[in-house]
Amino acid sequence: MLKKDRYAGIISYFGEHMPNPETELMYSNPYELLVAVILSAQCTDKRVNMVTPELFARYPDARVLKHAEPEEVFEYIRSISYPNNKAKHLVGMAKILVDQYNNEVPSAIEDLVKMPGVGRKTANVIASVIHQKPTMAVDTHVFRVSHRLGLVSPKSKTPLAVEKELVKYLSRDIIPKAHHWLILHGRYTCIARNPKCGECGITEFCNLYPKIQKYGLTKAEEGLPKIA
């Protein structure tokens, strides 16, 4: 199957079955989403959503958060992965957001990544979700699913390489949706250890599916890169 046909089939399926995909992180404004995405690094959205209501009640905006002590923030996020570092990152982020950006979450990737705890993936999420920019955040789900489906080459061995290849083949208006499509598909259907191929609606477009049927998952995935 030609790559363009694979993309077309997958886009068509998700466009019909998941026309308005959204992040599962709970937020009500750009500041809250930025905090939630920082917390979600190597942590589930479900866990993040459990702690953010009290966190946002205590620190409703960056002006309040910038004056907090990391030790105090830690108490609200202690069940999150790497709470010590993330507490420091949140306070540092708030200071920059207020002092340099007038409490407005910037839209440019180069501005977002200046803040503690904000790497390229987080910046892409903010730019895409808040500002509707054609940026593709590549997390473990996007990395895995895009390789399994055959949307990217096995030679794309880093998140940045996967990002560039996906953006190359997706139209600008589709990219923000495609980010969520791939994440949600990887989270609930094309899971890492035991993909639910029997429940998947895009097996006809999947590069890995015939190999799984013939050889099993472990053998089928030989040669596919793993995200670091």
- Residues with catalytic annotation? 121, 139
User: What does the mean pLDDT of the chain come to?
Assistant: 94
In the chain, residues under CATH classification 1.10.1670.10 are: 137-220
- First vs last C-alpha separation in the chain: 29
Q: How far is CA 11 from the centre of its chain?
A: 18
- Which pTM does this prediction carry? 0.90
The reply to whether 206 sits in an annotated binding site is: yes
Q: What architecture does CATH give domain 137-220?
A: Orthogonal Bundle (1.10)
d(CA 61, CA 209): 46
Low-confidence ranges of the chain (pLDDT < 50): none
Instruction: Outline which parts of the chain fall under CATH 1.10.340.30.
Output: 30-129
* Fold (CATH) for 30-129: Endonuclease III; domain 1 (1.10.340)
Q: What's residue 227's pLDDT? A: 83
Distance between CA 62 and CA 5 in Å, rounded? 46
**What amino acid is encoded at 155 in this protein?**
K
Q: Does 43 show up as a binding residue in the annotation?
A: no
